[in-house]
Amino acid sequence: MVAKEPDGPRGDSPLDARRRNEYSNIILLCPTHHSTIDKDVAVYSIPRLIEVKSAHEDWVRTSLHQGGDLAEEQWGQLVDAIATRLQWQNWEVLFQPVFGRKSPAIDYAYFEELTQFAQWLMRRIWPTGHTELRRQLEMLRRLVTLFLDTFDESAHMEPGRALIQVEHIYRGSEHDPEHHALLKRQWAGNVHAIRELALDLTRSCNLFIATVQRNLDARFMFDEGLIAVQIPLSGEMRVLVPEYSRADLDELSACEGGLTSRVHEALASWRSDDGSSD
């Protein structure tokens, strides 16, 4: 409701940076209504938005969760906070540099927000019930952490820009063709690993959305739909909605360590000396 930056919509507020990012200041809307309320701050003042949010929470208590079950209400609040913190409404734009550049890049500010999200989710006190949702959130947290760690290991800040980009580690080694070829394979492995992790992260988010719709709130993300990314195909950027196949889900259920064990094994393969082509 109060913008993150002081010069943003309704940003002239005594709330400090930490409180601006807390649930009490967050309202989840579709992109169209986000634009509507930010274009007319006089009409959509902070008291008005608090009233709208409170009305929705009352509806959750009385209509969606019959009997006013506290745990169901807490799950609803947690799900809304996750969607807001991960910026699902901007996901396609935020991950476009991961797939659309020769070397994957990501906005530094969003990189920091993902870091904060993983820490925030790790500290949650889980409501009772919905074991499947909790398991998927733990998987999501581990994937976010793995994506961040892998990016951080192979990336650098791009001079003059607020981007973190996978480093071209092979540049400057042309005088030693064998070493140059080795570094280029390692770079290609880093690029492949980052992009595969980004796809798995998107699949995990879409799996969570589908599970929320099935088990908690059939209206959740109904208007917005699943999360998409843009990837280059045949020289053009195409929209893709990554989802786990039935076989993927069966494999994950059978795997003792779950998704992250499978990803760790894949990372070792992607980043091996002979595991990637030039």
pLDDT in tens, 204-236: 999 999 999 999 999 999 999 999 999 988 888
Q: Are residues 28 and 140 in the same domain?
A: no
Answer yes or no: is pLDDT of 120 > 90: yes
Q: What is the rounded distance in angstroms from the CA atom of residue 193 to the CA atom of residue 180?
A: 20
- Which is more confident, 19 or 151? 151
The tally of domains found in the chain comes to 2
Dihedral sign for Cα atoms in the order 133, 137, 139, 143? positive
Greatest mean pLDDT range, 53-62, 228-237, 256-265: 228-237
Q: Are residues 215 and 95 in the same domain?
A: yes
pLDDT at 118: 95
Share above pLDDT 90 across residues of the chain, in percent, rounded to a whole number: 37
- Which is more confident, 111 or 186? 111
In a domain, 78, yes or no: no
The boundaries of the domain holding residue 137 are 90-270
**Cβ atoms < 10 Å from Cβ of 184:** 18
CA distances from 146 to 94, 140, 200 (A): 18, 10, 11
Model confidence at 186, pLDDT cuts 50, 70, 90, reads confident
pLDDT at 267: 55
Average pLDDT over residues 247-260: 62
Q: Are residues 48 and 106 in the same domain?
A: no
pLDDT at 256: 45
Boundary-marking domain end, from 25, 46, 64: 64
Q: Are residues 26 and 99 in the same domain?
A: no
Q: Are residues 118 and 244 in the same domain?
A: yes
pLDDT at 180: 81
pLDDT at 88: 95
